[in-house]
Structures are given as C-alpha cells and as structure tokens.
Structure 1
Amino acid sequence: MRRNSTAAIALAVGVGMALASCGEAADSPGPARSATAESPPSFSVTVPPSSPAPASAPPTTPEGEIDKLAATNGWVVDALYPSVSAFVRDMCESLPVSAIDGESRPQWLAGHLKGDGQAVLKAGIPKLCPTWTKTLEEAVSGDYEVWLSNGDYEVSSEQQPGEKSVKPGTYRIKGDLENCYWERLTRSGEIIDNNFASAAREITVTVRASDGLFRSEGCEGAWKPVR
C-alpha cells in the first residue's frame, strides 16, 4: 500500500508542475506591441497644371471671308494674285482710275468677269469696296455706257460684257487729236466710211446697225456716246 501511495503522490506533483508551466506560458505578455496604431499607407497625387484657356479666335476679316468662300466654292482667279481676296482688292483700287484708259468703269470691270471673276467680284466688292456695287451691277447686266478706244469693235445691238463690241449710235472724241484715223467697215471688211485727221479738237462718227465693224487708230482719248 505504501508503494502505490508514493507513486500517486509523484504523479500528482508532476501534473501540478505541468499545469503551473502552462499557466506561466499563458500569462506571459509576449512581445510588446507598439502603442501607436499603424498609419495607412500614404499616396501622393500629382495634380496636372490647369491648361490655359484657349485664346479667342481673331476676328474674321472681310478678306478672310472672301478667301474662305472661294475655297468652299472652288473659285480661282489669275495666278498673278496670291489669293482671291487680293484679286478683289486690286479691282477695288483700280476702279477709281480705270476710266482714264478709254473705257467706262462698268465696261472696264466687265472685262474681268470671265471664268469665276463674276462670282468672285459679286461676293467681294460689297465687302471690300461697297461704293462700287452699282458699277458691278451695271457691268454684270451689260447695260452700261461703252467708250471706244483704239482697236476694232464688232457692231452689235446687244452689248457683250467683256467683249469689244459697240452698239449702233453716235460717238464723239474730244481733245488734242493728232493723226487720228477711224473707219466703218462691212462684215466682209469693205470700207463704208473713213477719215484721217492730222489735227482736230473734236470728231463725231455715227455707227449704224448695218455696219459690221468700227475701227479707231492713233486717237488719244475715248469715243463716248452722244446723248
């Protein structure tokens, strides 16, 4: 009986020691934790600089409007001009002095209506030189006073815009006329009437509907209709 009691006591002591060891392990505080809470990861955000406000478009000029319209419609003019608006500008600047070359202003302008010239000038003259709008209308209609300079003019009852033609009627030239020659011809080229003036101040000629051609040579100035 004593041997069994001793064994029991030893077992009880062993279990107690094991329990004490487990308790110590449970009560151990373990590694210390930081008292400060961990901060969330930070992210840097780069804000792009604000784009400058787009500059306002420059105001549209009359020249720009004409060139844009020409580009839209495919209008072209003489390659002498860098742009369609330059052509219109040249017409505007030339109109005030155009009559000194022996043609009325509508007659002179009519000579520039061929091809796209008419459309270009109808769009451009009211914008760049509206003073000459009425002159343009006369040139387009063909209803204008024809002045005759030196050259050959076909006699026609209807004025042909831009062509060297003359309506039947009476014409007069004034000035210091020297070596001025004129003639009326049939359509076959036969002379109906003519005259050579070595010196004169005024000459008057009547062109008839039956004439084919009127010719003027060496006459300084312009033959103008007698009203």
Structure 2
Amino acid sequence: MRRSGAAKIAISVAAGMMLVSCGEPADAPRAVRPASVEPPLPSPTLAETTPSPAPVLPPTPEGEIDKLATTKGWDVDALYPSASAFVRDMCASLPVSAIDGASRPQWLADYLKGDGQAVLEAGIPKLCPAWTKTLEEAVSGDYEVWFSNGDYEVNSEPKPGEESIKPGTYRIKGDLKNCYWERLTRSGEIIDNNFAPAAREITVTIRASDGLFRSEGCGGAWKPVR
C-alpha cells in the first residue's frame, strides 16, 4: 500500500519524537562523576606531639665521686681529668704496687697528700672496696715499711718524707746478684758489711746505735722480720 507524502512526514516526525523521549536531549548537560576523595587524616593529639622525657638513669659510682669532688672543691692532680679517674688509676695500680720496694700501704701513702686522702677515702670503697683496708692502713701510718736500694739514716722515730730506717732485723729475698750492704756509724765508719755475688736470701740486723744503712745492687726490698 502506497503512502502519501504527508503520511511519510508524519511517520518520520513520530519516530523522531519517540527517539527524543527515550534518550537524552542533544543539548542536555552531562553529569560529571566526582573524583574519589581520601578521608582527612586525624590531627595528632597533644600526647603524640609532645616528646617523651629522657629516661632518668641511676647515678654511677664515678658520677657520685666527681659530683662530691666538685661540691667539696677537692683539687685533683692535673694528670687526671676527674676525681674518679684518679681513683680508678689507684685501684688499677694497687695490685702491682708492691714490686718496687714498697708495701702497698706505704706506696699508697704517697698519694694522700693535699686532697688525695679525701678523694681516695670517698672513692676506693665505691670503685675497689677490696683495697679499703689498705687505704685505712695508709691513712693511719701503721703499716709495714719496705726499703729498696739507697742510703737510710737509722732513726727510731722516722719522720714522713725522710730517708730513714728503724732499728730492727730486715731480710731480702729473690735472685740476688752482686748485692752489697753496709752498716755505718754516724761518722761514716763501717760497722759491718757484705758483698754477695749470688744469693737467695740475706738478713741484716740494724742496731739503734747505727748511724746509716746502705744497700747497693740488691733487687727487691728489705722487709722487716717479725
């Protein structure tokens, strides 16, 4: 069946209207899909922004000695950077201090001058308590005195710092070679003497009436015989 021209136009218009009604208008704006947005991070709390305090460490024995020395104004030998360093050196030296002709208290007594006694009395019980008794003997002056080679004036009451020796019997032991000793009067006359090319032990008795005792070439130390 043939359609007229008017009918074809009507059909075309109707089809166009159906398309418009089913789809979007040609000039309608398109919806834009929003980009994904990350959720905001929570603000740090005061506890998170405040730094934690440094841990408080217990005081060390060295720190206590140095603090006490500073408070008391103790003067330490310039060879040492601190009071505790001085005490540490004494602690390390005491085990081997009796090899040069002096007992340990006798050796330690040389370091009690000035503020040395106060520093050692505060430090040795903390850093090397095993040597506390040796320190007490050194401070009291009641200790065994040894003698190496040299000239010693015979004196019943020796004074600190003097090269003197008390009357009594003394003995030296070891691998002795070319050891010479003599007892002299105050005028320098020889009372008794001996030269030992080789010996393991020598004993000498010094009288109160002697003026001088001399020892040469003898290794080790003359120690009082008790």
Q: Same fold (TM over 0.5)?
A: yes
- Asked if residue 136 in structure 1 is aligned to residue 135 in structure 2, the reply is yes
- Match for residue 166 of structure 2? 167
1:198 alignment partner in structure 2: 197
- Give a deviation string over 1:182-227, Cα, whole Å, max 9, x none: 2234455554433222222221111222334322211011111111
Partner of 1:59: 58
Residue 126 (structure 2) aligns with: 127
Conservation of the 8 A alpha-carbon contact between 1:107 and 1:161: no
**Aligned residues: CA RMSD:** 2.4
Partner of 2:40: none
Structure 2 partner of 1:115: 114
State how far apart, in whole Å, the 2-side matches of 1:52 and 1:156 are: 71
Partner of 1:71: 70
Distance in 2, Cα, partners of 1:193 & 1:84: 48
Counterpart of 1:153? 152
How many Å separate the matches in 1 of 2:82 and 2:185? 44
Q: Secondary structure at the match of 1:106?
A: helix
Contact 1:159/1:167 (CA < 8 Å) preserved in 2?
A: yes
Query: Deviations along 1:155-174, whole A, 9 cap, x unmatched?
Result: 33345556543222100111
CA distance 1:138–1:181, change in 2 (3 Å): same
Match of 2:84 in 1: 85
Q: Which residue is equivalent to 2:207?
A: 208
Shift of 1:62: 0.8
Percent identity (aligned): 83
* Conserved 8 A contact 1:185-1:211: yes
In 2 relative to 1, CA 159–113 (structure 1 residues): closer, same or farther, beyond 3 Å?
farther
Question: What corresponds to 2:183 in structure 1?
Answer: 184
| Letter of the structure 2 residue corresponding to residue 224 of structure 1 | K
**How many residue pairs were aligned?**
181
Structure 2 CA distance for partners of 1:115 and 1:214, relative to 1, 3 Å:
farther
**Any idea what SS the aligned residue of 1:198 has?**
strand
Q: Is the 8 A contact 1:186 1:211 kept in 2?
A: yes
Q: Contact conserved, 1:142 with 1:159, CA < 8 A, in 2?
A: no
Change (3 A) 1:122 1:163: farther
Q: Which amino acid aligns with 1:172?
A: R
How has the CA–CA distance of structure 1 residues 189 and 82 changed in structure 2, closer, same or farther, with 3 Å as cutoff?
A: farther
Distance 1:89 1:173, change over 3 A: same
**Who is 1:40 aligned against?**
none
TM-score by length of 1: 0.70
TM-score (norm 2): 0.71
| Alpha-carbon displacement from aligned partner over 1:46-67 (angstroms, at most 9, x marks no partner) | x987643532432211111111
